[in-house]
Amino acid sequence: MINLNIYIENEFQNWEIDTEKYAQLVKKIFNFYISKPIIAENCCLKNYEYETVSFDFLLCDSTKTHQINREYRNKDYPADIITFAVFADSPADEKFVLDMEINLGEIIIGLDKIIEEAAKKNVDKETELLFMISHGILHLLGFDHQTEEEFRFVVDNQKQALNSMGIEYDKV
């Protein structure tokens, strides 16, 4: 079993998040993904020896995601999710395992955008947040969605991850 170090910081004032609860849910999603051979055999962790995987979440508002998008990604719009997949996106010679731990990176989520999207899809905001969390984790593992086939793979696996926790999600 992989040790997971998950850090969640919530800067968003209008939604109190139980960070311990969500850290446990994140671990369930991550472990679900790693248990799937198609993901385990094709993710950025393959061929590395490690005992611990870590990654961080920043929960904020779309003003912050807009600022981050402009500053780090040269994109001038607020985002529902931004993923900095530090390990997956690094060249092979720059990937490192320190003390048997791999830091995958950071997921930044605009909770006001999650609330808006949940209302549009007629799902509760917690479900929409978990859907976005599952999306970000796949990005941290090195999966992208530049083609329709990649998009379907990502979304199908997001749905499966939520279904594995008893959450039906069919809004995409």
Instruction: Please state, in angstroms and rounded to a whole number, the distance separating the CA atoms of residues 84 and 105.
Output: 6
Q: What is the β-pairing status of strands 3-10 and 81-84? A: unpaired
Residue 170, pLDDT score: 80
| CATH class of this structure's domain 3-164 | alpha beta
pLDDT digit string (tens) for the chain, length 172 residues: 799 999 999 999 999 999 999 999 999 999 999 999 999 999 999 999 999 999 999 999 999 999 999 999 999 999 999 999 999 999 999 999 999 999 999 999 999 999 999 999 999 999 999 999 999 999 999 999 999 999 999 999 999 999 999 998 887 6
From 45, 53, 51, select the one nearest 26 (Cα to Cα).
53
Instruction: Please state, in angstroms and rounded to a whole number, the distance separating the CA atoms of residues 161 and 131.
Output: 9
Residue 172, pLDDT score: 60
